[in-house]
Amino acid sequence: MSSKKCFALAVAIGFAAFLTGCTGSGDSTSVKNAGSGGTGTKVATPVLAVIPKGTSHEFWKSVHAGALAAGTEFGAEIIWKGPTKEDDRDSQISTVQDFVTKKVDGILLAPLDDTALRMPVKEAQDAGIPVLIFDSGLKDIETVSFVATDNERGGEIAGEHLAKLLGGKGRVVMLRYLVGSASTDARERGFLKAMQANPGITVVSENQYAGASVESAQKAGENLLQPLKKADGSLGIDGIFCPNESATFGMLRVLQDNSWAGKVRLVGFDASEKLVQALETGEIDGLVVQNPFNMGYLGVKNMLAHLKKEPVEKRIDTGANLVTKDNMKDPEIAKLIAPPKK
């Protein structure tokens, strides 16, 4: 090969190497910036962190399925991570902070505590990561949107149903869920509002908490009901309300263990296979159910819309319905009590 041809070939190889260098290691940063709303020319697959209150309850498995469905439909990578138990605030805080460090494109959070999670959310926003809140509210922080059930209205629905079952008179108790949980606080507030509208009903107890697990709820339920036990072994109350899945199931266990199930009216919140079975047998008289699949789906859909600079509503209501033995076979209700799960 002549010296001129060798020189020309070397120049060509060097130019090709230069082009490769321009689109090599620097490209990942450019793509990441594009996904984060930066100025990169390539469109990356957005990475969204979805952080539930917990991962063990059936409710969260349905939220997870909805988030994944939206991620597949609209083109996003979904990372699902949350505490095992719904009272592990420190774990949820560190999870948010970890995703800030990893620079995900967006965070969807169901806060365990409406106050304790404010600072981690603010840290995420200060780092340029948008946050969308779902299921349970957060105090005094502006976020992309709040995607949730109208929980106060859900509690009212439960209270109205219980009042109707009792004919507007009797003695009832409410077993609360957990201090700092905004969603269940609202349900409890709605239930008490319905009781106030029925002066013939006396709320015997409204200040006991179930805690985060079925086991703690069962223990709290036993402690609540034992002093209300009559000499003949029956209960001196007519109705009970519990504001979430684990509290309802823990209370159901207490009633079953003491042969009280079906003899006192029990209205709960959320659905699981065992709660639905108890509804069918008459051991539970009503369940207010949400749409957890829709909550996860709409959360991801609206976060992606925000990343595309599209307008997003600040409050998105995902709905609540009363399920009874009479309507549980209706096709639309059947979808709600047995939603897809991950």
Instruction: Decide if pLDDT at 193 tops 60.
Output: yes
Report strand pairing: 106-109 vs 170-176. Answer: unpaired
Contact between 126 and 101 under an 8 Å Cβ cutoff? The reply is no
Instruction: Decide if pLDDT at 41 tops 80.
Output: no
- For the chain, give the percent of residues with pLDDT over 90: 85
36-40, 109-113, 338-342: least confident range: 36-40
Give pLDDT, residue 44. 86
What's the pLDDT tens digit per position in 59-117? 999 999 999 999 999 999 999 999 999 999 999 999 999 999 999 999 999 999 999 99
Mean pLDDT over 249-270 rounds to: 98
DSSP string, 164-230: HHTTT-EEEEEEE--TT-HHHHHHHHHHHHHHHT-TTEEEEEEEEE--SSHHHHHHHHHHHHGGGB-
Q: What is the SS3 assignment for 94?
A: helix
Rounded to whole angstroms, what are the CA distances from 168 to 206, 207, 330? 18, 22, 27
CA distance 314 to 147: 8
Give pLDDT, residue 43. 55
CA distance 245 to 230: 28
* Residue 340 confidence class, pLDDT cut points 50, 70, 90: confident
CA distance 126 to 208: 38
What's the pLDDT tens digit per position in 208-243? 999 999 999 999 999 999 999 999 999 999 999 999
Residue position matching structure tokens 């036990």: 229
- The count of residues in the chain is 342
Residue of 56, 41, 69, 115 lying closest to 295 (CA atoms): 69
Q: Indicate the average pLDDT of the chain.
A: 89
